[in-house]
Amino acid sequence: MGQSQFESYDLEAALKKIEETAANLEKIPHAYMGPVGTKVPDVAWYVFAAIKKTRSLSHAFCILIRAKNTLAATALIRLQLDTALRIYGLSLLDDLEDAGAKLMTMRATGSSGLETANRLPTRSCTKIWISTTQG
């Protein structure tokens, strides 16, 4: 990607960039939550958990790459993609407040993973896109 085969890749610089980005994520919840006693919407707690997970995965990824354990590091990439897609999925919902309340009441249902009593409603334009690409 834009490099000749003779250029070397600075892996340590890339890992430091990942660590800097993860460190910046730590500032987001504190800036958003406000003073003590501020009411935080349910969906925000879901996002805060994703931020914390991202920071943890980034830290673990850098440690594993430095230890040359690329097999385990690639599994963390999949976990991070899963987290990113869950957050992206929030943009497809009609009512974030309602979705946040439902997300906070999820329960384990055995082999099918986590489920809510009612499915979260999505925007109608998304349903059109899904129906045309699945068939």
Asked if residue 120 lies in contact with residue 102, where contact means CB atoms within 8 angstroms, the answer is: yes
Query: Is 108 a member of any domain?
Result: yes
Its pTM stands at 0.67
Query: Is 3 a member of any domain?
Result: no
Query: Is 6 a member of any domain?
Result: no
Query: Is 1 a member of any domain?
Result: no
Domain that holds residue 129: 11-134
Q: What is the pLDDT along the chain (135 residues), one digit of tens a residue?
A: 565 666 788 999 999 999 999 999 888 877 777 777 778 778 888 888 899 999 999 999 999 999 999 999 999 999 999 999 988 888 888 888 887 777 767 655 554 555 544 455 555 544 444 444 444
Query: Is 4 a member of any domain?
Result: no
Query: Is 34 a member of any domain?
Result: yes
Give the total number of structural domains in the chain.
Answer: 1
CA-based nearest residue to 92, from 66, 112, 128, 121: 121
Query: Is 125 a member of any domain?
Result: yes
CA distances from 5 to 2, 62, 65, 68, 86 (A): 10, 24, 22, 22, 37
Query: Is 59 a member of any domain?
Result: yes
